[in-house]
Amino acid sequence: MNKCTGLTLSGSKCKRSENCQWHKPKDNCAICFEQVATRYPTNCMHIFHEQCITQWYLHSDVCPVCRATQDADKFVVFKKALDDIIGERYADAIRTIEVENTRLRHRLERFRDY
């Protein structure tokens, strides 16, 4: 195996260590696969762009890599609090829509029977 001729980040000769800029593991976002400059780690220590993971959290509360729940993540906590507030505020409207939906389904079923 050839020895690396590059220099480490500190300027010394590479001995194929993790400090070598060529052999240092790159952190890529597991959602968009682009290299991450500003890291946003999840509770399970996977690395993402903040924008990518916040978009992911719109649909799921788990890590896209290992599926670990992210209940302590600030975005997930905020989302759940917002869901609770909206649920409380619009509970009557939601119940009314559910009742009307059930009524229309029953009416449709009776219509199909004819």
Partners of 69 in the β-ladder: 62
Specify the pTM. Answer: 0.55
Per-residue pLDDT, 5: 57
> pLDDT tens digit string along 42-96?
888 888 999 999 999 999 999 998 889 999 999 999 999 998 999 888 999 989 9
Structure tokens at 71: 């209940």
Check residue 1 and give its pLDDT. Answer: 41
Report the pLDDT averaged over residues 31-52.
Answer: 88
CATH topology of domain 40-113: Herpes Virus-1 (3.30.40)
Tell me, rounded to whole angstroms, the distance of Cα 71 from its chain centroid. 12
Whether 2 has a pLDDT exceeding 50, the answer reads: no
* Closest C-alpha to 48, from 64, 65, 29, 34: 29
pLDDT at 30: 84
List the chain domain ranges. 40-113
